[in-house]
Amino acid sequence: MLYDSQIPQKVVTKIQEALDPRATFGISGGEKIKSIDGYQKIVSWLLQKTATSKDRLIVLGGGSLIDLGGFVASTYHRGMKLELIPSTLLAMVDASIGGKNGINIDGIKNVVGTIYQPSAIFICPGLLDSFSKEELLYSVPEMVKHALLDSESHFHAIEEHFKKGNWTDLIERSARFKSALVHNTSEKRDLLNLGHTIGHAIEGVLGPSCSHGSAVFAGLLGEIGLGVHLGLTNPEVLKRLEKLPLYSIFPDLRSISFDELFEKMVRDKKSINGKVGVVFIKDIGSPIGVRFVDRSALEYAWGVCQMRSVQMRSVNGYQNRS
C-alpha cells in the first residue's frame, strides 16, 4: 500500500489494519511527486519487496499520488492490479475516476502516462476531515462543472450544499456522473472540458501559484458568459453561477494580458486554424458540445472573467491568493 504521508497517521493506521497489506510505503504527496524521481522511488520499493505482476498496488492519496501510483501500476512488470482510495475532494470526484494517470517531465504536465483502470475505488468522505472548509472550496469548481453538465437537481444540490454543508451525497453524485461520462463516446467525454479552455490558459500563465480549481471557476464564468453573449446559453445559468459563494478562491487576473492568454489557448490541442474549441451548454443539464470560436469571442469571454475578478476582489473578506 502506497500512501500520502500528509494524511494523519491514525487514519493511515486504521486503513492499514482493515486492509492488512503485505507492505506499506509512505511518501509525501503534492505535484512534485509526479516525476521521474517519484516513479523511480516507488518502483525501487516494489522491487525491494519482490512485488510481482500478480500483486495489487493500493494507492491512498490525493490526485498527485494517484496519478503517479496509477502510472507505476500500469507499467511495473507490464501491469499489476490497482486499487484507489482517494484522500482529497478533487481525487474523490475527479482524479481517481477514468483511469488517466501520468507524471510531469521538464515542467510539462502529464506528458508521460497511460490509461489504466483501477479494479476498485473506495471513497471515504471522512478522509476530508483534515482539511479546512476553505481548502475544500478549491475542489468545488470541478463539482460545479459536473452539475452544470448533469442536471438541474444536481446543480440545485450544490447551491443547497452551501447552506447545509454535507459533502457525502454530493461526492457520490459527482463521482457517479464523471464515471458515466468517461465510459461514453469521445464527444461526451469532451464535455468535461467545460470551463477548461480559459481555465487551463489562466493556469498556464499564472503557474503553480494559481490552483486548478480557481482557474476552472474563472474559466466557467468566462465561457458561460460567452455562451450567453452568443445567444447559446440561458442567461440564468450565469446568474446562478455568480451567486455561488466561491469568491474567496477567485484568482487575481490583473497580471495577465489577453495576448499571452490567447497564445496558450491557440497552442492547446483544442484549437484548429487559429480557432479555439470551447464547450457550450444551452442550460443546466443541456450541454451543446464543442464549438470553435475566434479571437474576438475569446476576448469577450476574457472581459467577463476580468469583470468578475474586480467584483470578487471587492467582496468583503476576499483575500488575494494568487
Ligand X SMILES: NC(=O)c1ccc[n+]([C@@H]2O[C@H](COP(=O)([O-])OP(=O)(O)OC[C@H]3O[C@@H](n4cnc5c(N)ncnc54)[C@H](O)[C@@H]3O)[C@@H](O)[C@H]2O)c1
Binding residue for ligand X, selected from 83, 94, 223, 252, defined by CB under 6 A? 94
The answer to whether residue 203 forms part of the interface with ligand X (CB under 6 A) is no
- Residue 310 DSSP SS3: helix
Indicate the SS3 state at residue 122: coil
- Does residue number 189 form part of the binding site for ligand X (CB under 6 A)? no
**Quick check: 197 binds ligand X (CB under 6 A)?**
no
The partner residues of 39 in beta bridges, in order of sequence, read: none
Return d(Cα 225, Cα 291) in angstroms, integer: 15
Using the contact rule CB under 6 A, the part of the chain among 85-93, 202-210, 228-236, 277-285 near ligand X is 85-93
Q: By CB under 6 A, name the one of 72, 84, 103, 127 that touches ligand X.
A: 127
Interface with ligand X: number of residues (CB under 6 A): 25
Helices 258-267, 295-314: axis angle to 10 degrees equals 120
With contacts defined by CB under 6 A, name the span among 45-53, 98-106, 202-210, 262-270 that binds ligand X.
Answer: 98-106
What count of other Cβ atoms lies within 10 Å of the Cβ of residue 18? 9
Exposed / middle / buried, residue 39 (Cβ in 10 Å: 0-12, 13-18, 19+): buried
- Sorted by sequence, the CB contacts under 8 Å of residue 297 that are 6+ apart come out as 226, 229, 230
Per-residue x/- marks for ligand X, 5-34, CB under 6 A?
A: -xx--------------------xxxx--x
Report if residue 98 touches ligand X, rule: CB under 6 A: yes
Helix/strand number for the chain, H first, E second: 14, 10
Minimum gap (Å) between residue 35 Cβ and ligand X = 11
With CB under 6 A as the contact rule, the residue among 56, 81, 100, 321 that binds ligand X is: 100
Q: Is 117 near ligand X (CB under 6 A)?
A: no
Supply the minimum distance, in Å, between the C-beta of residue 177 and ligand X.
14
36 Ramachandran zone, left/alpha/beta (phi>0; psi -120 to 50): alpha
Catalog residues that contact ligand X under the rule CB under 6 A. Answer: 4, 6-7, 28-31, 34, 61-65, 67, 87-88, 90-91, 94-95, 98, 100-101, 127, 130
